[in-house]
Chain A
Amino acid sequence: MSSCRETLSRSLLALALATAGPGALAQAGYPGVGRPATPGEVRAWDIDVRPDFKGLPQGSGSVAQGQDIWEARCASCHGVFGESNQVFSPLVGGTTADDVKTGHVARLNDPTFPGRTTLMKVSTVSTLWDYINRAMPWNAPKSLSTDEVYAVTAFLLNLGGILPDDFVLSDATMAQAQQRLPNRKGVTTDHGLWPGRGMGNGGKPDVQVVACMKDCATAAQVASFLPDFARNNNGNLAEQQRLVGPQRGADTTRPPAANPAAAAATALAAAAVAPRASVNSPAAAALAVAQKNNCTACHGLERKIVGPAFRDIAARHGARADAEAYLTAKIKSGGQGLWGVIPMPAQTLSDGDARLLAGWLAAGASQ
């Protein structure tokens, strides 16, 4: 079916291209489709910065300026020192003064080092600038000025011990920062996974094996499996399998069954129970509002993320006589200090949504 359609499309395409004639702009083949982009439009969207700094706008920012912006705009997710793993992988850590000299991050060879920070991995400083410029801060991307992007990039590199405290990062000094990047020599394109000719080895696979069919040499020893205590880590698997067919899901709220009959029985019984929260309940409405307004990026129902769990807020403030009004005001104004050092910014959701959430929290944040 698709091949018929494709053939037809291809013939149309060939026909259309043929009518454009040699040397003519192909656009001529599709009159009325597309128009020239204006210089202003291209400037508005063409924001990418390449490793050779093509696209980098003029501007500058100091480490000190970057610190102020960082604490106001970045620290709530990334931590005051860029070290936080509460929301995202840490940005800073794992690099040394020696790495700055060699251009290779030595800790990448240490399997016991927990995780890999951004500064351990990144090999091009343009990448940091470009990404901060296009996508940060997380909840207000593209809101930093060009100078602010330089300043934040400078401060981030300063946190990693890469740039000195008095450094001013600018289009003129980006190359100096590149020369100090700890993992600047840490990448290779010598592999077979680039489907083009400009880089890589032309597509030659690094792992080459032969398909043995009979009496193959394999120990077939089970070396890794999920321990029984972890069998429910991804939720009850009985509720994640279809209720009809050759198999059921294992009821992972219980220990493994001793025998096939018992396993089948528990799987069938568990499959029969499919509790579903009513979508019309007040709790569902509040959770939907929390989701819509991105509250759940920082607050889990039962789990602290950046901010406290909804249940913990309910437990602390639910008993106040003015709980609903108090929580409405806190949602709208933001705050800091009650639950730790990471501030909650003022939220711009509607009064109605704020009251709905506050009322739900005051009533115990039920599910």
Chain B
Amino acid sequence: MSSHDRLSGRLVKAPENFISPAGVRAVFGEAQAGRRDFVRAAYAAALAGAAVPAALAQGHPLPTEGGDANILELPAHSKGLGQGVATDGYGKPSKYESNVQRRPSPGLTQTAQSSVSFAPLQSLFGIVTPSGLHFERHHQGWWDIDPSRHRLMVNGSDDKMLKQPLVFTVDEIMRLPSVSRFHFIECGANTGMEWGNVAVPTCQYTHGMLSCSEFTGVPLKLLLDMAGVDHQRGRYVLAEGADGASMTRTVPMELIESGEVFVAYGQNGEMLRPENGYPLRLVVPGVQGVSWVKYLRRIEVGDQPYGTKDEAVHYIDLLPGGQHRQYSSTQECKSVVTTPSGGQVLLDPGYYQISGLAWSGRGKVKRVDISVDGGQNWKTARLQGPVMSKCLTRFSLDWVWDGKPAIVQSRAMDETGYVQPSTRQLRAVRGTRSTYHNNAVQSWMVQENGEVKNVQLS
């Protein structure tokens, strides 16, 4: 059989209900009458929306007769009066967007208070995460704290570590000179379920402990300078939350001295959401999310790291040989294709924009390469500006899907020259039981039926 025959043969051998009996009669009736354009249109319609209400078929078929009813028959919203201003004092997404939600991964945790919900990366555009879809990680449940009763204390591990321990109200923090910066926040355990094998189906669950916001706040350096910190001795800073867990993490003084670390109260133009630490949280750019302590109540300057629960029992990375890496904090360069991605179905062959997110805890993303053949050949993607340090960067590449299986991957490189490793390259050094800091290249297999599957390559 020639390739042409195989192609047409596949079309003829359509599955049951591929075209309705009435459709078949119409097609052959019209075909005998010589209206070949109509035949093509009918096939296109059948391909796009067999057995589906016509209004839902988004494959954009050629109209069967006359034209598209959505054009020919004016909808109610074109012929009536719409709703007034401030119908909702705080607007919400369209009701058609209700599938776009942050979600927990079933079975991952057994309580809702020490748990995580994943951001729906597969449905997001650009680099900013809408605040209501920001991923959540709580260690002992979240609170909506009265800002008038919240305090931030700065003190030292001993009397000589700083000149004067200080207390600030939230009013006072908001009076000080502020910065607004875009940064990503990624949980150290993001993609942690995938160290050994594929465990979850979509990029929401593989990579959704990742979000990016414009945060506003006061550089921590300013507050430490106000307290008169001894920078010779005080090389470590403990951040502590006010919630039940009173989460604590050690942050290196070098990051604070760089001016990068700040005490945030703003997120995407409004106050932090309660789930994200209202009224104050620490922003530690490039460092895993657990260090961005929420409900921040205290900063202690000290001369030693603190060995807290989340840096001595959790957030330690098991290596081959049985040693754990402690105080692993930096989120290394990483990327993921969000469209097309696992769990999606490509409705037709043809043009698609491959798009995704890249980031690095060491600075700016310099380049992203994309492969559609499982890593044998790569093309450099477009980066959408502005490319900012320790911030998500959106990338894209044109792609025409020919209907054949394809394995789509992205590989990011940051300004230090570090290249995101493949799963194999990462495992060769760290094994499969590190839990944290999995930044391997993600592979999505577009199958012939259009369904995209999460796969790992050998």
Contacts and interface: CB of A to CB of B under 8 A. Distances in A.
A106 B332 CA distance: 30
B179 A195 contact: no
Contacts of B197: 224
A36 B228 CA distance: 12
A294 B138 CA distance: 14
Contact of B300 (A35, A46, A200): A46
B153 A45 contact: yes
Given A134-B246, A226-B201, A268 B323 contact: no
A355 interface: no
Contacts of B322: 104-106, 108-109, 186
Contact of A247 (B167, B344, B425, B448): B344
Nearest to A276: B98
Interface string B147-191: 000000111011000011111100010011111111000000000
A207 B425 contact: yes
B373 interface: yes
Contact of A189 (B15, B107, B326): B326
A35 to B, nearest CB: 6
Interface in A212-261: 212-216, 218-226, 231, 233-235, 237, 239-250, 252, 256-261
Interface stretch (B24-32, B272-280, B346-354): B346-354
B453 interface: yes
Contact of B327 (A10, A130, A189, A260): A189
Contacts of B103: 234-235, 240
B328 interface: yes
B106 A233 contact: yes
Contact of A265 (B50, B107, B120, B180): B50
Contact of A27 (B164, B304, B313): B164
B378 to A, nearest CB: 5
Contact of B252 (A32, A86, A197, A296): A197
Contacts of B227: 27
B254 A12 contact: no
A195 B287 contact: yes
Contact of A226 (B153, B411, B454): B454
A294 B106 CA distance: 18
A90 B230 CA distance: 41
A187 B325 contact: yes
Given A9-B177, A123-B326, A135-B309, A268 B343 contact: no
The CB with the most chain B CB atoms within 10 A, among A142, A199, A258, is that of A199
A124 B238 CA distance: 17
A263 B324 CA distance: 45
Contacts of B123: 241-242
Interface in A189-206: 189, 191-200, 203, 205-206
Given A6-B181, A196-B235, A257-B451, A205 B418 contact: yes
Given A186-B323, A216-B375, A196 B201 contact: no
Interface stretch (B33-41, B80-88, B109-117): B109-117
B393 interface: no
Interface in A48-67: 48, 50-52, 54-55
Given A249-B99, A263-B450, A10 B49 contact: no
B343 A130 contact: no
Nearest to A272: B56
A203 B154 CA distance: 28
Interface size bracket, B side: 35 or more
B455 A237 contact: no
Given A26-B222, A213-B378, A264-B347, A187 B326 contact: yes
B449 interface: yes
A210 B419 contact: yes
Nearest to A197: B254
A108 B180 contact: no
A203 B361 CA distance: 11
B202 A234 contact: yes
The CB with the most chain A CB atoms within 10 A, among B49, B167, B422, B430, is that of B167
A328 interface: no
A122 interface: yes
Contact of B339 (A46, A235, A243, A247): A247
Contacts of A272: 52-53, 56
B458 A126 contact: no
Contacts of A205: 332, 418
Contacts of A317: none
A30 interface: yes
A129 to B, nearest CB: 10
B263 interface: no
A166 interface: no
B164 A33 contact: no
A195 B51 contact: no
B289 interface: no
A211 interface: yes
B23 interface: no
Contacts of A305: 110-111
Nearest to B433: A111
B456 A261 contact: no
A172 interface: no
B238 A48 contact: yes
Contact of A216 (B166, B238, B344, B376): B376
A193 B330 contact: yes
Given A50-B302, A135-B245, A36 B308 contact: no
Given A9-B179, A86-B110, A187-B324, 16 more contacts: A26-B225, A36-B165, A48-B248, A50-B157, A54-B158, A104-B322, A130-B309, A208-B419, A218-B422, A222-B407, A240-B99, A240-B101, A245-B339, A258-B15, A297-B111, A305-B111
Sorted nearest first, the 5 A-B pairs with minimum C-beta distance are: A196-B252, A220-B374, A247-B344, A237-B343, A223-B458
24 contacts: A6-B180, A36-B166, A45-B153, A50-B302, A88-B110, A118-B313, A121-B316, A127-B308, A135-B245, A187-B326, A189-B325, A194-B327, A203-B330, A206-B429, A216-B376, A221-B457, A240-B99, A240-B120, A241-B343, A259-B15, A261-B15, A268-B56, A274-B98, A296-B112
